A and B are shown apart, each in its own frame.
Chain A
Amino acid sequence: EAGVAQSPRYKIIEKRQSVAFWCNPISGHATLYWYQQILGQGPKLLIQFQNNGVVDDSQLPKDRFSAERLKGVDSTLKIQPAKLEDSAVYLCASSLDPGRLFYGYTFGSGTRLTVV
């Protein structure tokens, strides 16, 4: 099966600019996650979707970050305006349903964002 697709792979922007990331999960996977991985740290959940509804966005900085999952398939994550501390790898992941978490999520390759 095709994996989780993310684009772009790399992005460099100036602070206060806006940026958007795109994710296409594995076909049929109802649950989609966005994680932020800052250099030297483990990934941290930003938002979890179940189909097109938000399950958990408690760690999403809502003053500058937004995410949507239209039609329960693709998802976009936006940052506006970006800050220097947003420099990180943004990982998208998907899973068939929460009950299969023993088998883990499938992650995409990520988008590396550098804010200068």
Chain B
Amino acid sequence: DQQVKQNSPSLSVQEGRISILNCDYTNSMFDYFLWYKKYPAEGPTFLISISSIKDKNEDGRFTVFLNKSAKHLSLHIVPSQPGDSAVYFCAALRGGGSEKLVFGKGTKLTVNP
């Protein structure tokens, strides 16, 4: 039962253009959605999050959009830089006790110079 789905295993974009990474979920009880970035041989690092009561959160070049009716969220990176090349994980959690993160399988982003 995969509650968080990232259907694109990989994405390639040109430097300076927009990167859009997508994520779908099935559990309407999730309270928060988070994006993590992972470089090879390192642990995931927190990037940005959004509460389920919001529809947008922005932090510099990174913006996360949430569409609750469609159970869909997306991460926009503008402009994309070669250093953004990494695996991006979408994650979700329910508060109130066991606050475990449920992760998608990840999308490998490659930003070409």
B81 part of interface (Cβ distance < 8 Å): no
Q: In the bound complex, do residue A104 and residue B36 qualify as a contact, i.e. CB atoms below 8 Å apart?
A: yes
Q: 0/1 per residue, A78-116, Cβ < 8 Å to B? A: 000000000000010100001001111111111000000
Taking residues whose C-beta sits less than 8 angstroms from the other chain, chain B's interface range is 20 to 34
Q: In the bound complex, do residue A109 and residue B42 qualify as a contact, i.e. CB atoms below 8 Å apart?
A: yes
User: Taking each of B34, B42, B44, B93, which has the highest tally of chain A beta carbons within 10 Å of its own beta carbon?
Assistant: B44
Q: Which of A14-22, A37-45, A62-70 contacts B (4 or more CB under 8 A)?
A: A37-45
Question: Which residues of A sit under 8 angstroms from B98, Cβ to Cβ?
Answer: 48, 55-56, 58
Residue pairs across A and B with CB atoms within 8 Å: the count is: 59
- A5 CB to closest chain B CB (Å) equals 11
Taking residues whose C-beta sits less than 8 angstroms from the other chain, chain A's interface range is 20 to 34
Report how far A41 CA is from B103 CA in the complex, Å.
9
Q: In the bound complex, do residue B95 and residue A101 qualify as a contact, i.e. CB atoms below 8 Å apart?
A: yes
Interface of A toward B, CB cutoff 8 Å: 4, 31, 33, 40-45, 48, 55-56, 58, 91, 93, 98, 101-110
